[in-house]
Each structure stands twice: as structure tokens, then as C-alpha cells.
Amino acid sequence: METLVNGFSTINPATGEEIKEYEYMTTDEAIGAVEKCHKAFKEWRLKSLDERAKVIKAIGEELKKNKEKFVSLMTQEMGKVLKQSGQEIDLCSAICDYTATQGIKELQDEERELPNGGKGLITYSPIGIVYGIQPWNFPAYQAVRYSIANLMAGNGVLLKHSSGVTGSALLLKEIYEAAGLPKDLFTVLLIEHEQSDKIIEHELVRGVTLTGSPDAGKIIAEKAGAELKKTVLELGSNDAYLVFDDADIELAAKTSVQGRIYNNGETCVAAKRFVVADKVYDEFRDAFVKAMKEVKLGDPTIEDSDLGPMAREDLRETLHEQVQQSVHKGANVLLGGKMPEGKGFYYPATILENLEPGQPAYDDELFGPVASLIRAKDNKDALRIANDSRFGLGGGIFSKDEEKAFDLAKKYFDTGMVFINSFGLAQPNMPFGGVKNSGYGREHGGFGIREFVNVKSIMKVNM
């Protein structure tokens, strides 16, 4: 994304060339958009659950109709390979289908008899406008994830998307309205950070959700908290995938490569640290390096490319600096680690080992195709290392004893999500979110539908 005097332009990360120029809204225009969204909300909130579900279902169908167009645009704007752009749209459609069905169940009124024989009614009423601040790595999914749940709940939705994927944000608005969503109920705000503060402060905005870094989360939570507004925060992680001494090494290596390079390695819940029991460390390392060497870095529009460019030049520079700092502090480079020459913001599949606390590759989130390989004494020590993190979004366990793996994940893994003999992708019917510095609140699985509602008690008490 390149900043202009009164606007910005989106940049193709595969070439470094400009895609399109956009103008920022004035603050008055942004405030006006909030007011229009609220006006649309006042009518939408009165729609029945069945009426809302019908529109949500139609959005899923409209996404399917526009799949090819959306796939091409996403790949152009942020560099993911075409196949994975297609998978993202499929997931968004599935979220619409799930929400249209499950939302009716989650939002039904509940009757309760009071202790003295009176009558009680619980409703899940919409609260108003929910403001979402979303990143670039999943241009469609990040916006769909929170907006569909809140539209089903009867709320209005504002989206401040990452500037680099503005085209995707505007296309999503077109798709929503083509499916029958009332105009202005879902509104894209082309604004800067200073203007965003005014949106959070606006009295018509009742909730704020952010996907981003822990530092951004602290800032948004503080600003929203000062206005007594609820937040949901998903703040990334350095997810540990544990290779136990009874793991299927071939499966673990293959899956770990997929988990690390998926979406060009730019996924909050990606596999990032690979903690391996000493007994199988050498075997896994050799298999992992071999499999990562086979990853094809190249033009994301070419079918046989496994790994495209990073989304922005500054992101690539930050990642490379983290690699260099880790090496300076004692890490070894097993594969990759060198900045490519030529056009585009490419970075090779990279593996670092000899990692320990104090190195960025051990402590921090490396948002790109760099894997951190860590040796553990045994399975118990692997769990200790996994939890020895300020983050807690996801993680994984590789073990042939899946029953044991599920039990350990349940009792000891201090994260919001754990994947057994697989890597982390969102599922519409399973909750998504983390703990510790990875944030709070949940999306998906029916839980996100109730994050921004007024759980209202209505009672007739016998006196």
C-alpha cells in the first residue's frame, strides 16, 4: 500500500506495481456513513430470524457466483496462491450457510419459569453497530467472519479493512447488497487511524472487534474501554506444534510444511514453532527440511506455485530482520533465510534451529514462511515449551495415540485451539479465538453470534 496526499494506492506484491488508487473519506463523510448504517440497522433489527437467515444464505450463494472474480482480486492484492484464494471463498460460503441455520437456534427466545411461579423471557437482542478493524491476510474471510455473525444477530456492521485489500472490501459490500442486504447496513470505511478513533468514540457504535497485533489490541481495547464498549480481539500467536516421540514422522513433517507455508505463512493460527521430542528430533528435522526444500516459491497465479510473495515490502523486511536477529543470538539456518533479488516481495521457505528464549524466532510471532525448530527433552517438556509463551491462540500435537493427544490438549495446552495430527484452519462450527496475548472473545461455532447482543431479561414476577 502506497500513501498519497489524500489517499492511497494498492500494490501487487508479486510485482511491486500499483493496482488502483483510492481516496480517503473525510471525517464528516465517515460520520455520515455511521449514521446511515444506524438508520439501516433500525429497520434490520426488526426483521425476523428467518428473514435475516434468508439474506445470509443468499450472501453465501452470491459469493459462489463471484468466486472467480474474488479469487483473482485477492491474489492480486495480497499474493496468496490462487488455489488458497478459492478455498477462502469456499470457507466464507460455508460460514454463511452455517450461520443461517445455527443463528436461528442460537438467537431464539428462551422462556423460563421464575421461582415464585412468575414468567421469564430471555431475548438475544441486537445492540446496534459493530465496528470491525481487519487485516489483509484473508481479505474475504476476516471480514465475513465477524460481519455475517453480527448481521444475523440483527446488528449493523462497519468495516475498516487493511488499505492494501481495499478492492476486496468493496467487492464484498457489492456482493452483500446484491444478495439482498439493505444498503448501508454493511459499510466499508476508507479512513486513517486518527479517523478510526472517532468511529470508536461515536455514540452509535456499540461494539468493536479487531484482528491484529497485541500492541494494536491493547490500543483498541483501551480506546473502546474508555467509552465502555465491548471488544473482541484476535491477536495472533507463535503457535507450537508438538511432535511426540510416538508421532508418525512422515505425516508430521508433511503436515508441518503445509501448516507453515499456508497463505504464504501469513496466518495468525499457522504452525510456527515446531517442538520435537529428543527421541525423534533428528528424524523429524531431516524429513522436515527435505519437505520444505520441495516448496515452490513463485508467481501466485501459476498453478504449481506453493508459496507466493509476502503481502507488503515492509512485512518482508521485518521478517528478515527477525531471522537475522535470531541468527545473531545463536540460531542456525537449516534452509532459506536469504532475501531474494528481483521484483516482488518474495521470501523463501526457511527453517531455523538451535533456538532458545531471547531470540525472536523463539519468543515472537514470525508472520511469514519461517519455521522455528525446537528440541525438547521429551513429550512433557514439549508441552512446557509450548505453554512457555505469552501467546495462546492455537497449537498442535502429533501422536499416534490420538486419545492421549486429545486428553493432553484438553488438560494442559493453554491455547484457544489445538489441532491433532493436522494443522489449523477455521471451521464454521468450531469456536475460533485465543487466550493470553492472543486476545479474548470467540467467533464461529455459534459463539460469535452472541458476542455482540443484549441478553435481555423480561419478567412477570408474582408478588
Question: Which residues make up the CATH 3.40.605.10 domain(s) of the chain?
Answer: 2-236+439-460
Residue 358: count of CB within 10 angstroms of its CB: 11
Could you tell me the sign of the dihedral formed by the alpha carbons of 456, 430, 100, 224, in that order? positive
Are the C-beta atoms of residues 163 and 196 closer than 8 Å to each other? no
**Separation CA 17–CA 348 (nearest Å):** 21
pLDDT mean values, one per 10 residues, the chain (463 residues): 76 98 97 98 98 98 98 98 98 98 97 93 98 98 98 98 98 98 98 96 98 97 98 96 98 98 96 98 98 98 97 98 98 97 97 98 98 98 97 98 98 98 92 98 96 97 88
| Catalytic status, residue 234 | yes
Residue with cell 491433532: 420
Q: Which residues contact 11 (CB under 8 A, 6 or more apart)?
A: 1, 2, 17, 18, 19, 164, 312
Q: Strand (E) positions, 161-243?
A: 186-188, 205-211, 230-234, 240-243
Look at residue 313 in the predicted model and tell me its pLDDT.
Answer: 97
Look at residue 424 in the predicted model and tell me its pLDDT.
Answer: 79
Spell out the CATH class of 240-426. alpha beta
Q: Which residues contact 147 (CB under 8 A, 6 or more apart)?
A: 132, 157, 159, 176, 186
**Separation CA 240–CA 230 (nearest Å):** 30
Q: What's the whole-model pTM score?
A: 0.97
Q: What is the DSSP letter of 191?
A: -
Look at residue 2 in the predicted model and tell me its pLDDT.
Answer: 56
- Give the type of residue at 23: E
| Catalytic status, residue 29 | no
Look at residue 463 in the predicted model and tell me its pLDDT.
Answer: 81
Question: Which residues make up the CATH 3.40.309.10 domain(s) of the chain?
Answer: 240-426
Residue 222: count of CB within 10 angstroms of its CB: 10
Domain 2-236+439-460 has CATH 3.40.605.10: yes
Q: Which of 234, 353, 365, 451 is catalytic?
A: 234
Look at residue 316 in the predicted model and tell me its pLDDT.
Answer: 98
**Separation CA 448–CA 166 (nearest Å):** 25
Residue 296: count of CB within 10 angstroms of its CB: 11
**Separation CA 270–CA 48 (nearest Å):** 38
Q: Which of 268, 353, 443, 451 is catalytic?
A: 268
